Amino acid sequence: MALARFGRQVKRQHGVCVKMTAVAILGLCFIFVWSMFSSPSNSVTVQRESFDDIAEPVASSTIVSKSKGKDIEKHDANDNKKKVESSLKKKDEKKVNGSLPLPAHEHKSGKKNEKHVSKRKKDKDKSKLSNEVSKENQENQEQEESQGEEAEKENEDEEEVVVDDKEEGLDGESEEKGEMEGDADVDESVDQETQEMVENENEGKKRQIKGPVFDPKAHYSWKQCSTRSKHNYIPCIDVESGFTRLHGYRHRERTCPKAPPMCLVPLPHDGYDSPVHWPESKLKVLYKNVAHPKLAAYMKNHNWLIKSGEYLMFPQNQSEFKGGVVHYLESIEEMVPDIEWGKNIRVVLDVGCSDSSFVASLLDKDVLTLSLGLKDDLVDLAQVSLERGFATFVSPFARRSLPFPSGVFDAIHCGRCTIPWHAHEGKLLLEINRILRPGGYFILSTKHDSIEEENAMNTLTSSICWNILAHKTDDVSEVGVKIYQKPESNDIYVLRRRINPPLCKENENPDASWYIPMKTCLHTVPSAIEQHGTEWPEEWPKRLETYPDWLNNKEKAIDDTKHWKDIVDKSYLTGLGIVWSTIRNVMDMKATYGGFAAALLQQKIWVMNVVPVHAPDTLPFIFERGLVGIYHDWCEPFGTYPRSYDLLHADHFFSRLKNRCKHPVSIVVEMDRILRPGGWVVVRDKVEILDPLEAILRSLRWEIRMTYSQNKEGIICAQKTIWRP
């Protein structure tokens, strides 16, 4: 009231002095109030993957003079700039396990952060160009505006959620796609992504505490996915939008939905039954478990698989290769005697999945073959291979690198191949060269060779210095077989007349492969002792227990092997209630050194060792041991058909996510998709994660077979039921 009365008096004609006095008093009051409640806004904002090491800044209430404030402002800005640059530099130089390189996404973060910092710097420089006459008032207004702009940009960054330096679920053509139908109705009262601020009594400062991985108060009700591919839905490969008409049913590249699917894939319409157990599944599988319209048409022209009653049969004397696959393999050994299946050749990649009898015959020779089911394979032969119990994954093979490290496959095979290796500057063959071990073999068999294609292939293989060891057209199989060998050293590259393709730059990591475009350059052969691939591994099975010189932390790898052997022998095989005779396809969702897979070798199973892209890169050593694996980001769906695995193993998997994924519950939904009905899940983790996880599994109608906890850690063993309401 006093201020209002004073204002009315000022409006009267009492002279200029009274008016000036009133303005001065109001200005001083505004400055005093602002100085009491405002905090400095001279901060540089960068986008980070983790906020574990950031503490809440302490607001300063000290009033300084104009000249000192200006100097301190410059000093703080320089300090902030140095801190940001040093953190970016440390992130780029970060290494794990010495010679083991970090995954691809760790090598791309620097540029993005630098752009973000430079943008903030430009905005900050603009704010300094103010009028000196009313500097204090303008600084107040500028600080309020900059705080509002930074808040808006931070909100935008939270909505986009950058994962591994790319927007989650966005990739090229997927920008036009909407969210998936049939999402789950999830009532979450507390958002697990919320950052809670708590006060540390000892330090007197605030620090950030991340919310739980799973909200213990959430309730879930699930719907079935209403997708075009129905019971064979592969989220990052199958197109589910109006975009389909122009670009076909399946993606040319891995393209995930903007929001991870939160729906359950239905069972086949004709029903689903427990798969035929191994090793009987090598000869027959239940037809209704893999039935597909394209498959029925395919069987009419191929006699290596036939339908007999309720089964899909695989006659031993029938193959894509005339004379049988056994004759085909023996002819390869005759052409190149150095190829000894099951000894120096242990890990093989079969491109195309055209005939899984090739994989079955190699398995009898102690060769572990990983089949690549191409994305345009509408016949779903990769699903047939998985149902038979063979190591298989599904991936496009066009413009991006395959999710493997460099130089890990002893041999790569493409039978009755129709892939145009020489097209697009030969980048597909250069990708094969990247993942093929130095001195490794590329076995190519073709039915009909045109002169133009053969000349182009010869030119390409000569340019990358592959040696043709043998070329023969077999009279029995009627296919032409060529066997190439990759160079074992870099000496031959210097002797090339035409340096095309050029050698890759030294700073290009050959192991970087997650969402990395295929290179049209030639990676050199490793030559340093600390690099993997410099020497051929020991013969199988000795290589399983061999620890090469390039592997740092050998003791950790040895301890990991002993650790899992003890757990598997004393607990998993006898104490969990799992019927191991029904287990064939197994996935380790967070593999380290392959110790879990090595401990299960005697059970006649195979393990897909998944190394998360944010974890230390131990995948080269897993291949060195004679095992197979793959890189993957679990914030996205996995590249396989539904009902692919009999057992999923997750050891401290969810607690190591570090809130990377926006919807961790979607990972449980993905586990439900790729697990066969009747399959098992074994999760070892913290009790604070296991308790809400158990509730989620129960909401999926899974049966909890065993739970155990001690010292805030525990284990859940659950079984997925065939029946679902």
Provide the Cα torsion 162, 164, 169, 173; round to 10°. Answer: 100
Q: How far apart are CA 391 and CA 369, in angstroms?
A: 7
> Mean pLDDT over all residues of the chain?
78
Helix (H, G, I), strand (E, B) or coil at 33: helix
Q: By the 8 A CB rule, do 415 and 321 touch?
A: yes
Q: Give the chain's length.
A: 725
DSSP string, 279-319: TGGGTEEEHHHH--HHHHHHHTT-TTSEEETTEEE--TT--
Q: Is the pLDDT of residue 180 over 50?
A: no
Q: Which amino acid is at 346?
A: R
Q: Is the pLDDT of residue 323 over 90?
A: no
Which domains does the chain possess?
278-524 (3.40.50.150), 542-718 (3.40.50.150)
- The predicted structure's pLDDT at residue 658: 74
Q: How far apart are CA 317 and CA 554, in angstroms?
A: 46
Reported as a single tens digit per residue, the pLDDT across 181-226 is 334 444 333 333 333 333 344 444 444 446 789 998 899 999 999 8
- The predicted structure's pLDDT at residue 353: 82
- The predicted structure's pLDDT at residue 33: 64
- The predicted structure's pLDDT at residue 579: 94
- The predicted structure's pLDDT at residue 499: 87
- The predicted structure's pLDDT at residue 452: 86
Cα of 656 vs its chain's centroid, Å: 14
Reported as a single tens digit per residue, the pLDDT across 433-461 is 999 999 999 999 987 767 888 899 999 99
* Residue 167: its H or E element: strand 166-167
pTM: 0.74
Q: Angle 424-429-431 (CA atoms, 0-180°, nearest 5)? A: 100
pLDDT band of 376, cuts 50, 70, 90: low
DSSP E strands, 314-426: 347-351, 368-374, 392-395, 409-414
- The predicted structure's pLDDT at residue 16: 57
Q: Is the pLDDT of residue 107 over 50?
A: no
Q: Is the pLDDT of residue 389 over 80?
A: yes
Q: Is the pLDDT of residue 79 over 60?
A: no
Q: How far apart are CA 291 and CA 676, in angstroms?
A: 15
Does residue 711 come out as left (phi exceeding 0), alpha (psi in the -120 to 50 range) or beta?
left
- The predicted structure's pLDDT at residue 59: 35
Q: Write the burial class of residue 167 (CB in 10 Å: 0-12 exposed, 13-18 middle, 19+ buried).
A: middle
Cα of 42 vs its chain's centroid, Å: 37
78: tokens are: 């320089």
DSSP string, 489-519: SSHHHHT-SS--SPBPPTTS-TT--TT-BPP
Average pLDDT of the segment spanning 411-421: 91
Which residue did the predictor score with more confidence, 712 or 23? 712
Q: Is the pLDDT of residue 361 over 90?
A: yes
Average pLDDT of the segment spanning 709-720: 95
- The predicted structure's pLDDT at residue 678: 95
243: tokens are: 């975009």
Reported as a single tens digit per residue, the pLDDT across 496-552 is 888 899 999 989 999 999 999 999 999 999 988 889 999 999 999 999 999 999 998
- The predicted structure's pLDDT at residue 375: 63
Q: By the 8 A CB rule, do 696 and 216 touch?
A: no
Q: What percent of the chain has pLDDT over 90?
A: 51
Q: How far apart are CA 415 and CA 216, in angstroms?
A: 51
- The predicted structure's pLDDT at residue 311: 96
Q: Is the pLDDT of residue 3 over 60?
A: no
End-to-end CA gap in the chain: 70
pLDDT band of 339, cuts 50, 70, 90: very high
Q: Are strands 368-374 and 347-351 parallel, antiparallel or unpaired?
A: parallel
- The predicted structure's pLDDT at residue 69: 42
Reported as a single tens digit per residue, the pLDDT across 19-74 is 677 777 877 777 776 666 544 433 333 333 333 332 333 333 333 333 434 444 44
- The predicted structure's pLDDT at residue 34: 64
Q: Is the pLDDT of residue 621 over 80?
A: yes
Q: How far apart are CA 392 and CA 383, in angstroms?
A: 8
Q: Is the pLDDT of residue 308 over 80?
A: yes
- Strand pairing partners for 286? 311
Return the half-sphere exposure (C-beta side, CA atoms, 13 A cut-off) of residue 691: 11
pLDDT band of 493, cuts 50, 70, 90: very high
Q: How far apart are CA 91 and CA 107, in angstroms?
A: 9
Q: What is the DSSP letter of 178?
A: -
